[in-house]
Amino acid sequence: MAILYTVLDDHELASRHVAGLMVSTINRHPSCTLGLATGSTPMSVYENLCRRYQAGELSFQGITTFNLDEYVALPEGHPQSYLAYMRENFFDHVDLDESKTHLPAAHQINENVSATVISDRYENEIENLGGIDWQLLGIGVNGHIGFNEPGATIDSPTRLVDLAASTIEANSRFFETVGQVPKQAITMGIGTILKARKIVLLATGAAKAEAVASAINGPVTSDNPASFLQTHSDVLFVLDREAASAIA
């Protein structure tokens, strides 16, 4: 299936477009389940959503959320954890019911509770709540989606993964030193992501151009995990001009 894409002038317009798609989905399906992403790219999507919530345009009360991933070996709510990110950028500013928000409970891994138990529990929770209706994705410079780095297989489930060196390097801007960046995470798998009914990937900036172009036009391969999205029937890439610049 060819991946559909739309190109907006810049990061702000692309983010606004994605937020608009989310708002209309939520207003049409007020009890739907959203898959959410972290990183710098979606920050302005969340800003837009918070603004539109404050303007009374929508309510998140009936919405269930599942985040793509969480770092391993950080205490719950650590400032660099994705739970803290979600609270800071989104959860604390809207009327989401906190009991309906989910991130992989990576902090619960210990000598008695394995990463596999935590991962399987997350996968089952998603399934038991009816699956993900609308999944937001970013993309890494190496084509990762969630923390499915190159090498991840199309049917991979939620699981413990090692982060690629390029990801650790890219994410070090959120930490004081590269050494502080966690080396592992629990991530939804490619298989988990592909079960979402609709997928919207937001990519902006020239650094993402190659990964975006090969995800859209290149072969379906583990070398670029985002290329697996070609096998899904309802995917939209929302790009700014720079991120779209390498598409043939």
- From 70-78, 132-140, 151-159, 226-234, span contacting ligand PGA (CB under 6 A): 132-140
For residue 155 the two structure tokens come to: 């049917």
For residue 178 the two structure tokens come to: 């590269």
Specify burial of residue 208 (Cβ count, 10 A radius: 0-12, 13-18, 19+).
Answer: buried
Say which residues have a Cβ less than 8 Å from residue 29's Cβ, sequence separation at least 6.
Answer: 133
144 among known catalytic residues: yes
240 among known catalytic residues: no
**Which C-beta is closer to ligand PGA: that of 58 or that of 68?**
68
Q: Which of 25, 33, 41, 135 binds ligand PGA (CB under 6 A)?
A: 41
CA dist., res. 27 & res. 63, Å (int):
10
140 binds ligand PGA (CB under 6 A): yes
**Which C-beta is closer to ligand PGA: that of 140 or that of 182?**
140
149 among known catalytic residues: yes
Closest approach, Cβ 36 to ligand PGA, in A, equals 12
Subset of 65-104 contacting ligand PGA (CB under 6 A) = none
> Quick one: which of 83, 24, 94 has its CA closest to 59?
94
Q: Which of 144, 148, 171, 240 is labelled catalytic?
A: 144
Residue nearest to ligand PGA (CB): 39
Residues in the chain: 248
**Which C-beta is closer to ligand PGA: that of 74 or that of 139?**
139
92 among known catalytic residues: no
Q: Which of 149, 171, 224, 240 is labelled catalytic?
A: 149
Side chain identity at residue 104, one-letter code: P
Find the radius of gyration of the CA atoms of the chain.
Answer: 17
E strand intervals along 108-227: 134-137, 159-162, 184-187, 198-203
Applying CB under 6 A, the residues found at the interface with ligand PGA are 39-41, 138-140, 144
